[in-house]
C-alpha cells in the first residue's frame, strides 16, 4: 500500500484536495492510495455522507469512501463530455 499525492490517468492529473461535481454531490479527494497495483481515491462529500446498502433492510453511512480511480476518471470524462 502506497499513499500518493497525485495520480495521472489519460493525461488528467488528480491531486489531493481536488473537488469534482457528480450530479448534486461535490466530492473531494482526501487520499490517493495504491493497493496491490490498484489505485483508489478516498473521497468525502461536501453536502453529506455516503450511504451504503449492506442488506435490503440495512444501510450504513460513512464520511469517506474509496472509489476506484478508473471508475472515478470515467465518470469525470463523461461529465466533461456532457458539458461540451
The residues of the chain scoring below 50 in pLDDT are: none
Cell 451504503: give the residue: 52
What's the confidence (pLDDT) of residue 23?
86
What's the confidence (pLDDT) of residue 80?
86
Q: For residues 47 and 60, what is the distance between their CA atoms, to the nearest angstrom?
A: 17
Other Cβ atoms less than 10 A from the Cβ of 65: the count is 18
What's the confidence (pLDDT) of residue 84?
78
Amino acid at each position: 500500500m502506497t499513499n500518493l499525492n497525485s495520480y495521472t490517468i489519460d493525461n488528467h492529473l488528480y491531486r489531493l484536495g481536488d473537488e469534482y461535481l457528480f450530479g448534486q454531490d461535490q466530492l473531494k479527494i482526501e487520499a490517493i492510495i495504491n493497493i496491490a497495483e490498484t489505485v483508489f481515491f478516498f473521497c468525502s462529500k461536501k453536502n453529506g455522507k455516503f450511504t451504503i446498502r449492506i442488506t435490503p433492510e440495512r444501510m450504513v453511512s460513512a464520511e469517506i469512501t474509496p472509489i476506484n480511480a478508473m471508475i472515478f476518471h470515467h465518470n469525470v470524462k463523461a461529465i466533461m463530455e456532457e458539458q461540451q
